[in-house]
Structure 1
Amino acid sequence: MMRRNRWLLLAIVIVMLLLINNTVYYYTTKRSLEESLSHEMSSVAKQIEISVEQSRLGAEKYQELIGSGLRTAAIAAQYALDPDIEKVSNEQLVELSERLGVLHITLLKRTENDIVLYRSSDPKQLNVKTSTWKPWYQAFNELFDKQNVTIEWGQSLKNFWTGPYEVATTDTSKVRKWGYYFDGSTNYITDPYVSYEMQEQYESITGVNKLIDQTLQENVSILEITAFNPRTFPLGELTTKTESGEELKHITQQPIIFGAYQYQEQADAGYIAEVFETNKSMTINTTINGRHVLKKFVPVEISKVASILDETGQPLSRYVLSIVSDYRSIQETLDGQFFNVGLIIAIVSLLSGAIVWIALRVFRTSRDRVVREAQETYLEEMNQLYDSIRAQRHDFINHVQTMHSMATLNKIQDLKMYAVDLSGEVHELNELITIDNPAIAALVRSKQSQAAGQKTRLACSFEGMGTLELGVKSLDLTRMLGNLIDNALDEVSRYPDDKRLIELSGSAGSQLEFIVSNYTERAHVLKETSWFEEGYTTKGGEHQGLGLSIVRKIVEQYKGQLQVKLDQSQKITIVIHIPNKK
């Protein structure tokens, strides 16, 4: 039952280790893949940033070309019109706009308190005041005063200024681009303007939104690309009221500069503001619209342009680019790797388990065989001792009769020699009997016979074995001494007969002590720390390295101590101390 519980505990420990290993591997790999995707997103973001900026700058340049065209049209219109605005009719402007290929032409007149749209080919433009158009109104005044515009945004040429495409105040459903020319030769500003169609056609082919669509099609892991106006995004869409009461939405101040914004989070405003202020990228791992995504915010530096303004109408120095990537690519890669590694671990674990099981079976079989052999040896040695005692008693009468006959025949010298031989045999057996421990006596008797067969002398000395009450099993005593004597016999058998001496002593008092000494010339080998480890052997052949490890385990079982001493006289001594459990 206890053995089965140990096996169950071992299995649980192995399973727990595998689970911990797999969990650590899973999260380590997950973090590595997330970092890899983040770096990949940074690289992609940089490429997108460059491409987007190239496309945006191209659109800006195209707007500048349109602005130059408007200046040319304004100069041509001025040459065709009277320098006095009062002598110019709206009908003339209609005809002239058609001839010049512009949408409309408007003339701006400066009044005492305002600058108004005084003449126009578009009736909706007439008599509209401009003092609320910031910073447009400032540009008009600079043209009238200096014939040059110095504000930071828009396109300024000689005697000319144009702003970006913007929603018309007089018709909020239309997007226009106006050009304003004044060289001081007239009492009005000439303002030809065009629709958004030309710019729209350009951007539909090479514009930023076109580029974003192509990028999304080519990169299935990228779900969305968005450019945010970091100053107007928290405020939402900015609008102003026109004189007619309509709401005017300013293109240049839109919260979303380009791209779509479907993957929305309330925290986005905070992320965008932080990226804008710190000018450092940020990656967010989150779930949006039921999908696990990585969202990267990147600050993009730009030169101040008229098409991207803050809430006060001032140009921005940077905007924030957002790239949303599908986390599913990471999860699929992670799941695939986790499955493969898990399969490998499972196979290796099964193989390892099988190898360990086979090794344990082999070891247990070997250990059981050693124990069985020790028990058989113990019984055999006990039987040999008792057989010697019985044989001596059985032969006692024969010995007496023989000695009586020698005395009768007056063979005194022969009688003495016979008595010496008989007393030696009796003394030897009596020494074994006086050990007062049958198990040890039997073992010594057996080992002395074994030693004699190997031309080895086994000298023994025991004290107090009769008072042995240490709680040590007889079988364990014989296993310890037997393995130590066998090890000594194997060692001395390497050397000449005069070196073959083994000294065995034992005493029992406050503790049980056994000392086994023998000659050796291999001190450098026997000093190794693995000498008493299981499976360690220097003998080769069929030896399994179990004998001395059994001694160590028995000594540890009884809370004893095991010492090995090597002196200069080439003697190795093993000392065992086991505490008394009285």
Structure 2
Amino acid sequence: MSRNAWLLIIVLIAVLLGVNNIIYYMTTKNSLEGGLRRELNSVAKQIALSIETSRTGAEIYQEEIGRELRAASIATQYALDPDVDNVSNDQLEELAKKLDLVDITLLKRTKDNILLYKSSDPKEIGYETNGWKPWYAAFNQLFDKKNVSIDWGQRLQNFWTGPFEFSSTETKSIQKWGYYYDGTTNYISDPYISYESRQLAFDQATGVDTLIHKSLGANDWLKEIAVINPATFPDGKSETLNENGEWVAHQTQNPIIGGTYTLKDRRDTTNVKLAIERDARIYQDAVIGGKHVIKLFIPITVGTQVASMLDGEGQPIPRYVLTLTADYGTIQQTLNEQLINIGLIIGIATVISLIFLYGVVAAYRKSQDKLVSKAQETYLEEINGMFQSIRSQRHDFLNHVQTMHSLAKLGKTEELTAYAEELTGEIQQMNDIINIGNPAIAALIRSKMLQAEMLKVDFQTELSDMNMLELGIKSLDMTRLLGNLIDNAFDEVMKYEEGDRKVSIAALQQSDCCQFVIRNTCSGAAELQDKPLFQAGYSTKAGGHSGLGLHIVKSIVDKYKGVITLAVDEPNVVSFIIKIPC
């Protein structure tokens, strides 16, 4: 095999291995990404369920605090005069301490407003509430109906409370206020407690932020978890300017309800919106701070609308979005390890493949060299045999003449005639062989005629003026081609009785091509048309035949851009027709 052929094979192997490497890499990458997404999704489901359980528990706990505030309100009413003007701020301060409250404020209704009229905290006194939404509406409903009907906050008999929030009068504290009015007083009782004194301990033990912190600790590939309010995200806390000129933040409208949101991407706002609109999980690949991450946005439906999560208008939101950010580095690390392993495997496989390929090619070349060598030996033997026959005829010519002279002198005319005919036939046969015009074919035909004589095969030839073959076809290839076909024909006819052993070869030389037709007796000729006769290793013969004869013939015909066909023109006779351009 030539150096270029070797180079081409090596390049093809390298390309195939490269393509295989890329396919394997991409398949592994997709598989790992799919695995990370599935794991992320599974963890997200667990976290979402836990967060909902924790949040629902916190809401229930807040309701219990609301009941506590109602009880405190009733206790306050029994301890104070029903007329607000007869109640002092000192009384409220003392009562707040006894009931373990932050403070107590009494609300009085005026002609066009509701005021914070008396309070244990002097800073509370004098504030108007008509700008507090929806608190002002709830206060009016208490005064008018002794119950609240607005769809927000916690409603009990003669009582209403909102969620923990920042106060307009105390902008740095988170508190919860309870409002009670049953018509027996001319004021609304408003006891309140702080987040730190009631809810904080619960949230630290079982709250959303605690749960998120534990989840991040248990999954080191998770980098951040956030509970997002889609109605206020990402603009920040909703704020209100109070009477003192201070901006009061609203805890219930915070865009980040729980967790942290530091790994930000410009597409987050769009994906939060898509998650809500489609009610579907949204995945996002991003590079944040030089690190490749995968973000998951999951919409969570709130079973019962609560006062602790509001939109910009102060209305409860029906859904929030849970977002998880996973480190893609775990996948990249695995891929890098896979690449190293793949590189080693491919390197070893390449070396083994090349060694194996070299062995196969070497064995093939050795086999081909043996076939060529055998064909050359056969060719030389046949040529030498033909020349030897010619020399023998010339050497014996004097003996033949003397024999014929003696028979003539003795008057044995019949014997002389028979001897002359026999001698003439032998000479004519040799002349026919010589007249073929191609020494290689002539030598082959003579050899096969001798073989046919020994095998009792009727071997007929019709060849002449084959000199044009020398212009384009190697003699060695021609003898291999015809020799294999004649040998196959001899093998086939030896299955039959002596009288049915018929093989013939004919050639027709034209200006543009040479045509050979080899015919022989074959009882199953029609069945051969459906057989893969020219396939390497296929043989119709019994025993240990290689099945290479017709394959070699086909490869030689293809080499010279010729065609070979099988024909069944009459029953029990098969013909191989070969056309080769001259």
Same fold (TM over 0.5): yes
* Runs of 4+ with deviation above 6 angstroms: none
Q: Deviations over 1:19-43 (max 9, x none)?
A: 1222123223322332333233223
Gaps of at least 5 residues in structure 2 are: none
- Are positions 1:103 and 2:121 aligned together? no
CA distance 1:353–1:524, change in 2 (3 Å):
farther
- Are positions 1:573 and 2:572 aligned together? no
Specify the code of the residue in structure 1 equivalent to 2:363: V
Separation in structure 2 between the aligned mates of residue 423 and residue 277 of structure 1, nearest angstrom: 108
Q: Deviations over 1:127-170 (max 9, x none)?
A: 12222211111111111111111111111111111111111222
Partner residue in 1 for 2:440: 439
Gaps of at least 5 residues in structure 1 are: none
3-state DSSP class of the match of 1:234?
coil
Q: TM-score, normalised by structure 1?
A: 0.94
Separation in structure 2 between the aligned mates of residue 432 and residue 415 of structure 1, nearest angstrom: 26
Matches within 5 A, 1:219-234: 219-234=219-234
Partner residue in 1 for 2:235: 235
CA distance 1:529–1:18, change in 2 (3 Å):
farther
Which sits farther off after the overlay, 260-269 or 571-580? 571-580
Partner residue in 1 for 2:363: 362
Specify the code of the residue in structure 2 equivalent to 1:255: P
Partner residue in 1 for 2:535: 533
What's the CA shift for 1:201? 0.6
Specify the code of the residue in structure 2 equivalent to 1:176: Q
Specify the code of the residue in structure 2 equivalent to 1:287: V
Which sits farther off after the overlay, 499-508 or 334-343? 334-343
What is the aligned residue count? 579
Contact 2:539 2:547 in 1 (8 A): yes
Separation in structure 1 between the aligned mates of residue 521 and residue 336 of structure 2, nearest angstrom: 65
What's the CA shift for 1:366? 1.3
Separation in structure 2 between the aligned mates of residue 33 and residue 376 of structure 1, nearest angstrom: 64
Separation in structure 2 between the aligned mates of residue 330 and residue 407 of structure 1, nearest angstrom: 108
Partner residue in 2 for 1:123: 122
Specify the code of the residue in structure 1 equivalent to 2:356: I
Partner residue in 2 for 1:94: 93
Partner residue in 2 for 1:169: 168
Specify the code of the residue in structure 2 equivalent to 1:237: K
Contact 1:470 1:512 in 2 (8 A): no
Separation in structure 1 between the aligned mates of residue 514 and residue 452 of structure 2, nearest angstrom: 25
- Are positions 1:422 and 2:432 aligned together? no
- Are positions 1:8 and 2:10 aligned together? no
Contact 1:94 1:121 in 2 (8 A): yes
Contact 2:438 2:465 in 1 (8 A): no
Partner residue in 2 for 1:547: 549
Identity over aligned residues, as a percent? 50
Which sits farther off after the overlay, 34-43 or 56-65? 34-43
- Are positions 1:134 and 2:146 aligned together? no
Q: Deviations over 1:275-333 (max 9, x none)?
A: 22332221111121222111111111112211111111111111111111122233344
Matches within 5 A, 1:152-191: 152-191=151-190
What's the CA shift for 1:51? 0.9
Separation in structure 2 between the aligned mates of residue 26 and residue 437 of structure 1, nearest angstrom: 61
Separation in structure 2 between the aligned mates of residue 424 and residue 299 of structure 1, nearest angstrom: 106
What's the CA shift for 1:193? 0.8
Partner residue in 1 for 2:517: 515
- Are positions 1:321 and 2:322 aligned together? yes
Specify the code of the residue in structure 1 equivalent to 2:369: D
Separation in structure 1 between the aligned mates of residue 112 and residue 456 of structure 2, nearest angstrom: 137
Separation in structure 2 between the aligned mates of residue 463 and residue 428 of structure 1, nearest angstrom: 13
Which sits farther off after the overlay, 556-565 or 142-151? 556-565
Q: Deviations over 1:529-565 (max 9, x none)?
A: 4211233333466643332222212222333221112
3-state DSSP class of the match of 1:532?
coil
Contact 1:74 1:191 in 2 (8 A): yes
Partner residue in 2 for 1:45: 44
What's the CA shift for 1:47? 1.7
Which sits farther off after the overlay, 361-370 or 203-212? 361-370
Separation in structure 2 between the aligned mates of residue 466 and residue 239 of structure 1, nearest angstrom: 108
Partner residue in 2 for 1:308: 309
Separation in structure 1 between the aligned mates of residue 523 and residue 382 of structure 2, nearest angstrom: 31
- Are positions 1:497 and 2:498 aligned together? yes
Partner residue in 2 for 1:506: 507
Contact 1:448 1:457 in 2 (8 A): no
Q: Deviations over 1:47-83 (max 9, x none)?
A: 2111101111111111111111111111111111111
Partner residue in 2 for 1:61: 60
CA distance 1:278–1:412, change in 2 (3 Å):
closer
Partner residue in 1 for 2:451: 450
Partner residue in 1 for 2:84: 85
- Are positions 1:201 and 2:194 aligned together? no
Partner residue in 2 for 1:26: 25
Specify the code of the residue in structure 1 equivalent to 2:278: T
What's the CA shift for 1:100? 1.7
Contact 1:152 1:304 in 2 (8 A): no
3-state DSSP class of the match of 1:72?
helix
What's the CA shift for 1:188? 0.8
Specify the code of the residue in structure 1 equivalent to 2:565: Q
Matches within 5 A, 1:145-156: 145-156=144-155
Which sits farther off after the overlay, 353-362 or 248-257? 353-362
Contact 1:67 1:155 in 2 (8 A): yes
Separation in structure 2 between the aligned mates of residue 547 and residue 163 of structure 1, nearest angstrom: 98
3-state DSSP class of the match of 2:234?
helix
Separation in structure 1 between the aligned mates of residue 482 and residue 174 of structure 2, nearest angstrom: 108
Specify the code of the residue in structure 2 equivalent to 1:85: V
- Superposition RMSD in Å: 2.1
Contact 1:464 1:507 in 2 (8 A): no
Matches within 5 A, 1:365-444: 365-444=366-445
Q: Deviations over 1:380-420 (max 9, x none)?
A: 21111111111111211122122222322333343333223
Partner residue in 1 for 2:253: 253
